[in-house]
Amino acid sequence: MKRALLVLFVAVNIHAQWTPQLDAEIEAARVAWEVPGIGVTVVRDGKVVVAKGYGFRRHGSPERVDGHTMFDIASISKSFTAAAMATLVDEKKMAWDDPVRKHLPEFALADPYRTQHITMRDLLAHRHGLERADALFVFGDYTTAELIRRMRYLDEAQPFRTGVSYHNIAYAAAAEAIARAAGMPFADLLRKRLLEPLGMTESSVAVHHDVGVKNFADGHSVSDGALKPIRARKALNILGANAVNTTPHDLAKWLLFQLGDGTWEGKRLISAAAMNEMHEPQAVITTTPEMRAARGVRFFAGYGLGWQVMDYHGHRMFWHSGGADGMPTYAAILPEEKIGVAVMVNTWHAPILHGTIAGRILNELLGRESKPDWAGKLVPRAAELPARTPDTKPSVAPEQYAGTYVDELYGDMVVTHANGKLTFQFGGGLTGELEHWHYDTFRLRWHERVYDWADTQVTFALDASGKPARVDFRAGRAEVSGVRQR
């Protein structure tokens, strides 16, 4: 009987680490979803189980993804930002509940009460209640200082400290405050306090992920119906939200560190108290039955400091995803089971595969069953074009739409007319061509086809004299309305 139990234990233990079957399933999912390449990291019980790659770094090229291939992990960087502040909290240079204005005196919001009382904890836990406004850095071309200045024009999304309003620009403000308290640039702080002590020599900060390395994965997008590599483009004006680039091999070190008590190879980097603070829920995330079923949430959902904090089928978990251009990423940690998993995918057109693969791996490690068709397959989405009224024409000649239209938050929307065509520019950044759709509505087709998902409609409103006086359109999630100034 004892021998039978021992054999059973060994079989379960092997099964709970890694199997050729799991390898085969991940590769099959990659092929089914038409994904060029995937990077996977798994750690358990203080050791690296796998840090490897599947497929190719670039569509149509022979170079394969491996454990040392660089990816842009985007918003997973938020955990690094919180950890950087934790080192300063330990030195008493900052406190989680310091008012933001203590370190960033110019910081201001529309609400005077919120301006005075918002804390670093509020920024890092997304509990400030501000509208998201990602279009400012996705489409516009503003410095970090200008993004922070424009936060005073943000509308309220929900009351102060009542829930989670996910916000990348708030993390840019947090990083600037952290840098001021540290007395050094934020990128230097990440390198000196975290990457170098952890031996993350394959990682980089505050640069595009293809800078200085040969082994990097290209992001990909399905642009105008074809899978294409896209240029590396990191929003360097929101470093607090997306500073870090790394590899499966290096990300294993970050996961192992997060599973520990703040020490690394016998040296303390962060106090155990600060580690616990980052991993505790600071704000509640409202759930729905559909969300709970999709994510395996049984008990709670919240946001900590740089981490989502939930349970996975009853197992406490903190996790985060990242959404770099053409590169979805995901990292999850189960502290009680001492498990860490990360998945990096190099195409936008498999938008949930990173989390789905991570779930399959977690199920394997936890001894849970997964559905045989857990990965599904790629289902091409038809273009969603709004209804068009035929046989209409603009109210005025094309050149009369040209001008500068100003949105208080998003800045200048410049419409120019040349060679019979109208061109549109958002906030000094991206440009696109305006094609007449119907009446005074034009279709905006961005020149940078990486963002073809954000092609939109632009509608001009005329004043009493019949002159275009306002422009309204949607930029990603943002509703923009620019009033003509000239």
The candidate with the shortest Cα–Cα distance to 218, out of 40, 65, 50, 349, is 65
Would residue 321 be called left, alpha or beta, if left means φ above 0 and alpha means ψ between -120 and 50 degrees? beta
Torsion over CA: 349, 79, 304, 295 (sign): positive
Shared-domain flag, residues 243 and 128:
yes
The candidate with the shortest Cα–Cα distance to 472, out of 427, 417, 405, is 405
Q: How far is CA 192 from CA 155, 188, 264, 451, in A?
A: 37, 6, 14, 35
Instruction: State the Cα–Cα distance between residues 217 and 327, nearest whole angstrom.
Output: 9
Domain that holds residue 295: 10-366
Q: Residue 158: which CATH number?
A: 3.40.710.10
Strands (E), 231-272: 244-246, 263-264, 267-268
Q: Residue 410: which CATH number?
A: 2.40.128.600
pLDDT of residue 7: 35
Domain boundary among 315, 346, 366: 366
CB 330 within 8 A of CB 322: yes
| Residue 258 in domain | yes
Structure token digits, residue 258: 């997060």
Tell me how many degrees the CA angle 40-44-48 measures, rounded to the nearest 5: 55
| Residue 83 in domain | yes
pLDDT of residue 205: 98
| Residue 391 in domain | no
| Residue 382 in domain | no
Tally of domains within the chain? 2
Shared-domain flag, residues 423 and 329:
no
| Model confidence, pTM | 0.94
| Residue 5 in domain | no
* Mean pLDDT, 10 residues at a time, the chain of 486 residues: 36 58 96 97 97 97 98 98 98 98 98 97 98 95 98 97 97 98 98 98 97 96 88 93 98 98 97 98 93 90 97 97 96 98 96 96 95 84 76 96 97 96 96 97 93 92 97 93 94
